[in-house]
Amino acid sequence: MRFPTLIPALFLLAAPITAQQPSVTLMPMPASLTLTAARLALDTSFTVALPHVHDARLERAVTRAVRRLSMRIARPLPYQYALDTAATLIVDVAASGHAIPELDDDESYTLQVSDHRAVLTAPNVVGAIRGLETLLQLQAADASGLYFQGADIRDTPRFRWRGLLLDVSRHFEPVDVVKRTLDGMAMVKLNVLHWHLSDDQGFRVESRKEPRLQEFGSDGLYYTQDEIRDVVAYAADRGIRVMPEFDVPGHSSSWFVGYPELTVGSGPFSIARTWGTFVPTMDPTRESTYHFLDTVIGEISGLFPDKYWHVGGDEVDPKQWKTTATIQDYMRAHGLANEVALHTAFNRRLFEIVQKHGRIPVGWDEIFQPDLPTSAVIQSWRSSDALAASARAGFHGILSAPYYIDHMKTAADVYLADPIPVNTTLTPAQQALVLGGEACLWGEYVTPDLVDSRLWPRLAAVAERFWSPGSVTDVPDMYRRLAVTSHRLEEVGLRHEEHVARAVTWFAGDSSELFQRFIGYIRPRDFGGNGPNQMYPHTALVDAALPDPPAAAALMALARRAVQGDTAALGALQDRFAEMSGFQDRLAAVAVELPAARDGAMVAGLLRNIGVAGGMTVDALRHRDLAAAGWSTTADSLLRLAVPKAGGMRPVGADAVRVLLQSVR
Amino acid sequence: MRFPTLIPALFLLAAPITAQQPSVTLMPMPASLTLTAARLALDTSFTVALPHVHDARLERAVTRAVRRLSMRIARPLPYQYALDTAATLIVDVAASGHAIPELDDDESYTLQVSDHRAVLTAPNVVGAIRGLETLLQLQAADASGLYFQGADIRDTPRFRWRGLLLDVSRHFEPVDVVKRTLDGMAMVKLNVLHWHLSDDQGFRVESRKEPRLQEFGSDGLYYTQDEIRDVVAYAADRGIRVMPEFDVPGHSSSWFVGYPELTVGSGPFSIARTWGTFVPTMDPTRESTYHFLDTVIGEISGLFPDKYWHVGGDEVDPKQWKTTATIQDYMRAHGLANEVALHTAFNRRLFEIVQKHGRIPVGWDEIFQPDLPTSAVIQSWRSSDALAASARAGFHGILSAPYYIDHMKTAADVYLADPIPVNTTLTPAQQALVLGGEACLWGEYVTPDLVDSRLWPRLAAVAERFWSPGSVTDVPDMYRRLAVTSHRLEEVGLRHEEHVARAVTWFAGDSSELFQRFIGYIRPRDFGGNGPNQMYPHTALVDAALPDPPAAAALMALARRAVQGDTAALGALQDRFAEMSGFQDRLAAVAVELPAARDGAMVAGLLRNIGVAGGMTVDALRHRDLAAAGWSTTADSLLRLAVPKAGGMRPVGADAVRVLLQSVR
């Protein structure tokens, strides 16, 4: 699957596109794209023909697409069928395919946009769903109105498994958040929602057979069975699988609040409120544990038609197993050398249950042990090497280690990590075991008000990595297209672009504009954490900040242009550096009435160092003869002093100044 | 009720407040307020005592208040009870009062904030709910942190009925929109949601006894019975009554789609998609009509515990009754002289049904006719005179005519209209029949994405009119407090302040900032309509514009300062006028890639006239000796030319220029 797409990918970098490249705003990039000079007008005469397959899911997808086009032209665009020969858009699908998406669905499509019509063909409805998103990304406008860019596209994904893990245990996310996340995923052609539904901090699904799971383990924040079915159907309509995760035998404190007999030791147990790992662990030595799991998995798998079931299995704290006499006795009686072997024994029983209910087990790195049946899929959160090791042992695998987007990585960071790097040592057969990847958004610091800003637009960069040819790795071009994609994502109700303006209202008083500007130049550090427990409101400065503020890429783009002699870019940089230098004083001035201004004092000081170093460098670039001796040493020192040793935030822009500095030397 | 509050109101304008007035940001203003020099620190040691009544509704209200305070200090603030003597906040309530709010509930409270604690006392829980909102409005901040301003407040509303009509028929509004609207209403002490649930364009409630009402009449957009109960309970928790309206016998096309036998003439009937009045009307001559209404009112009144039931009764088109032989025969047989008499006969039957189900009927002006029983409440949408006429006839009344906030009036317009003007000719006994008022948001052009921007912050000004003493009429001070209140309203999830930034993304491309600035100076005309039917997406320029953009009040405030010799204000005005003059050219420059820029061309030209006139006037104020002869005639002409004759939008700022002009003459 992977290699054939490399040929169009090379083609992608060749002549027909380069000529027009500035206007390509597709994300993810298709396997093969030729832009043409054609333009198809978008006006109220828009009609659609569905000459072959005409099923309800396809009709809904077309209706959604037409509705979005209607909103763009601000006029009603009734969804009208037409004869093939008269239609503006022909969606020619050969077969319905699976109504509930599956791993091996053929998502390919072709799309030709000419002056008179757009023709979308696909072997299955799911391919048409992908192609409609591409068509919507081809819409542009000029003085004569809205139109679709002429194009000839043949597209198919590089990986079959392109997922997002959404942790709703540490902080609950309401159904409307999940739905708009699914809409965003569909726009960038992701196809798996990995729904992390239980953990120490909450059990989030209604069980009717064991209702104390949600009654005691969720603070009332859980999805009803009707809501689960609704979300699964919503995802299926968008060609997205929903794989549930119920993490066992560790990370399961919330189960024990209502059912203390599942673990050992003296209760009562309570929902975990802080972060990390916790001692209470399921007791793998009792038959009743497996009976309970069988009941719950039997019931809840009825809500999730996906063929995969995630069992978790990560970070099992062995302390309780080590110190419990009955468990140690059991291990001796069954010849289990250590707690890892006990975990594997538990997994063998668990897999039997999962498989009995018709599901394929998926688990985190830790479940990969010598005795594990290779029927399981390994999800690697530890490293790419861990993924490679399990592939060598014959396991299917999914890579997540580089894609922890709750960790405040830049879009470039996550973009450049490849599930199968160019220099892989895996054989082709082993590579074929790599199903794809998943971005992970763990929920320690992610409330419903923050979730969009923590996911988007970076998730679109990960989506391109999973869908597009591996040769598509131009970071500046990715940032250029990501800016457009970010705007477009708000069309389906996502709120990431308005996040900063909204979040500063908690603390900025009348200085909203100052804080918005300032926050444009800072990023949270590490996991961006504000608050060591589940009770924090997440309304502080660090919660308003973005993981990869657009100013970072903008500064870098300006620096690249400046070193190529673009004096306008140099002037723009000078303005930016002056602004960066000034926030420390401006924040101090408002601190008399805004206590929150002090939260930004440290990082404003670091930002000032970068701004001053940048200003010196721009001066030197302009007037090399006038530069004071040793200026570059000073600039270097300032940049080194701009790296935070503490505090929750760090400044952006140092890399752009370095690009300038290197050009002077 | 009204007169006693005038005494504290006069006190309000006296010494103790004037000294501190700039820091008063309460809205609505209390009946009596004395600010003091005390300050009560807000930190994580915050605790609450509820020494007497301790019921679940009060606890939920306190929990919500504590949660909002927690979000403001960005730290957990667990809701902790304390002994009276140790608590930060003592909420001392004498009785629970009605769990479901009623018209005659005593909403009064007193609030004292000293250096060591805040004491809130109230005869009923509902008064405490009002007082908690006042406490939250007393929170301020300075370099030492967050605190509550010292104050001594005795407060009670001027009117018992302080409502908002929300029309969810012409455009449906989801439950979450309704809930956040209720939260905003509670913040400004409104106490009635008048829920306009059926009209020609949609029937929005699930009936189980007559299910074709919603199945055929709603496009699937209706509230389930569970959702209705949920909203009613949510409102009751905030001290808000929910009065449903099912408009009959006109404005009822949506009923006839599923039940054509309710009207006359040949069906099939369809949901109305355009605006205005429609010919199909209920047949008041058939017993089956009353039987149907009895069934539906009997069922649905079970969902709405409020003692009032709104029957509509407005804009009945007599055409169908005039031209139907059976109806004309019936009128002759029953001695009904005309169609108005027939409507009244219908109302008498309808009122019997409403009263049988334990409800008091409310209707629009048109139901007020000689033979109507005075048990009904008249809601005046036509004029204040209509309200006075029905009061003279002994009817209770509610005023809405000046408060149609879907009509693009300014906050000042709606603020200065009084349900009982100072020069009223009503006797005290007739005045006592005026229960209060209701703002109306009719839904022709109001989608879920627009509703917040069309309601807020203007609704807060109406709320002050209904709650505060009639003597509180200082418009500049209202705008000053309204700006703060507008920010605060976003705390409960309202989205009006972010509306422009979000809405311009539909058409502004990379020129988002230009359009946001431009839209800051324009207002929709009249009803702000974009689109003659229900299918329009409302994503055009006029939909992004605000009914009363903050720049309008800001320009006026600057003009007032400038004519008093404030040269900084004059400088700020000059900058503003220059910006206003420039939008026409700036929009023309981007029109090559943004077709929507042309939508703003006409109003940008008008805005230029105002900017140029303003600039000339500022010049003349600065250098009277250098002003060209006849400049003021030219400025006058420009202002006259800035009044739109067509188009959907008009510019702001002409009134501010006039203030300047008059000072020069």
Question: What is the rounded average pLDDT of the residues A631-647?
Answer: 91
Cβ contact, residue pair B537, A143, below 8 Å: no
Residue B85 has pLDDT above 90, yes or no: no
Q: Which residues of B participate in catalysis according to the annotation?
A: 315
State the smallest CA–CA distance between residue A604 and chain B in angstroms.
18
Cα A8 to Cα A499: distance, rounded to the nearest angstrom: 38
HSE-CB at B550 with a 13 A cutoff on CA atoms is: 17
Question: How many C-beta atoms lie closer than 10 Å to residue A17's C-beta?
Answer: 16
Residue B117 has pLDDT above 60, yes or no: yes
- Report yes or no: B379 and B398 within 8 Å, Cβ to Cβ: yes
- Please tell me which residue of chain B has the smallest CA distance to A534: B76
Contacts of B487 in chain A (CB under 8 A): 505
Residue A100 has pLDDT above 60, yes or no: yes
Cβ contact, residue pair B498, A497, below 8 Å: no
Pick from B454, B530, B479, B526: which is nearest to B656 by CA? Answer: B479
Residues 6+ apart with CB under 8 A from A337: A331
Cβ contact, residue pair B593, A497, below 8 Å: no
pTM: 0.93
pLDDT at A82: 83
Residues B363-422: tens digit of each pLDDT: 999 999 988 989 999 999 999 999 999 999 999 999 999 999 999 999 999 999 999 999
The token pair that represents B284 in the structure block:
């008041």
Q: What are phi and psi of A595, to 5 degrees?
A: -55, -30
Residue A577 has pLDDT above 60, yes or no: yes
Among A74, A75, A536, the residue with its CB nearest the CB of B76 is A536
pLDDT at A81: 81
Best residue in A42, A60, A75 for a mutation probing chain B (most B CBs within 10 Å): A75
Cα B385 to Cα B184: distance, rounded to the nearest angstrom: 30
Residue A10 has pLDDT above 80, yes or no: no
Contacts of B535 in chain A (CB under 8 A): 76, 78
pLDDT at B458: 98
Pick from B431, B195, B207, B216: which is nearest to B310 by CA? Answer: B195
Residue B351 has pLDDT above 50, yes or no: yes
Residue A15 has pLDDT above 50, yes or no: no
> Which position has the token pair 């302390």?
A319
> Which position has the token pair 């030492």?
B144
Size of interface A-B (CB pairs under 8 A): 97
Cβ contact, residue pair B536, A144, below 8 Å: no
Residues B237-257: tens digit of each pLDDT: 999 999 999 999 999 999 999
Residues A144-158: tens digit of each pLDDT: 899 999 999 999 999
Could you tell me which residues of chain B have a Cβ less than 8 Å from any Cβ in chain A? 67, 70-72, 74-76, 78, 141-146, 176, 487, 490-491, 497-498, 501-502, 505-507, 509, 530-531, 533, 535-540, 543, 591-596
pLDDT at B398: 98
Question: What is the rounded average pLDDT of the residues B593-616?
Answer: 94
Residue B645 has pLDDT above 90, yes or no: no
pLDDT tier at A326 (50, 70, 90 boundaries)? very high
Residues A585-612: tens digit of each pLDDT: 999 999 988 988 999 999 999 999 999 9
Q: CA B504, B508, B514, B517: dihedral to nearest 10 degrees?
A: -20
- The H or E element containing residue B113 is strand B109-113
Residues B460-476: tens digit of each pLDDT: 999 999 999 999 999 99
pLDDT at A9: 35
Whole-number Cα distances in Å, A217 to A23, A169, A210, A350, B555: 51, 10, 11, 22, 55
Residue B653 has pLDDT above 80, yes or no: yes
pLDDT at B265: 85
pLDDT at B121: 98
Among B74, B491, B506, the residue with its CB nearest the CB of A71 is B506
The token pair that represents A335 in the structure block:
């010849």
pLDDT tier at A1 (50, 70, 90 boundaries)? very low
At what angle are helices B339-356 and B287-301 packed, to 10 degrees? Answer: 40
Q: Say whether A315 is catalytic.
A: yes
Residue B15 has pLDDT above 50, yes or no: no
- Report yes or no: B37 and B115 within 8 Å, Cβ to Cβ: no
pLDDT at A16: 39
- Please tell me which residue of chain B has the smallest CA distance to A591: B143
Residues A329-374: tens digit of each pLDDT: 999 999 999 999 999 999 999 999 999 999 999 999 999 998 898 9
The DSSP result for B412-428, as a single string, is HHHHH--SS-TT--S-H
Best residue in B536, B538, B587 for a mutation probing chain A (most A CBs within 10 Å): B536
Q: Which residues of B267-288 are buried (b: 16+ CB within 10 A; e: fewer)?
A: eebebbeebeebebbbbbbbee
Pick from A86, A96, A88, A79: which is nearest to A120 by CA? Answer: A88
pLDDT at A645: 83
The token pair that represents A48 in the structure block:
């659609």
pLDDT at A46: 94
Contacts of B596 in chain A (CB under 8 A): 74
- Please tell me which residue of chain B has the smallest CA distance to A70: B537
Cβ contact, residue pair A142, B593, below 8 Å: yes
State the smallest CA–CA distance between residue A113 and chain B in angstroms.
20
pLDDT tier at B21 (50, 70, 90 boundaries)? very low
Pick from A135, A57, A65: which is nearest to A96 by CA? Answer: A57
Cβ contact, residue pair A497, B505, below 8 Å: yes
Q: Provide, rounded to the nearest whole percent, the portion of chain A with pLDDT above 90.
A: 88
- Catalytic residue chosen out of the listed positions A210, A299, A315, A579: A315
Contacts of B505 in chain A (CB under 8 A): 487, 490-491, 497
Contacts of B592 in chain A (CB under 8 A): 142-143
pLDDT at B51: 92
Among B67, B71, B176, the residue with its CB nearest the CB of A506 is B71
Among B74, B76, B505, the residue with its CB nearest the CB of A490 is B505
The DSSP result for A366-430, as a single string, is GG--TTS-TTSEEEESS-HHHHHHHHHTT-EEEE-GGGBTTS---HHHHHH--SS-TT--S-HHH
Cβ contact, residue pair A593, B498, below 8 Å: no
Residue B311 has pLDDT above 80, yes or no: yes
Residues A491-545: tens digit of each pLDDT: 999 999 999 999 999 999 889 999 999 999 999 998 877 789 999 999 999 999 9
pLDDT tier at A625 (50, 70, 90 boundaries)? confident
Q: Is the dihedral of CA B82, B84, B86, B90 positive or negative?
A: positive
pLDDT at B337: 96
- Report yes or no: A93 and A124 within 8 Å, Cβ to Cβ: yes
Among A490, A501, A593, the residue with its CB nearest the CB of B141 is A593
Pick from B486, B557, B546, B490: which is nearest to B27 by CA? Answer: B486
Residues A160-174: tens digit of each pLDDT: 999 999 999 999 999
State the smallest CA–CA distance between residue A553 and chain B in angstroms.
16
How far is residue B45 CA from its own chain's centroid? 37
pLDDT at B11: 36
Residue A18 has pLDDT above 60, yes or no: no
Helices (H), A167-286: 175-187, 212-217, 225-237, 253-258
pLDDT at B267: 87
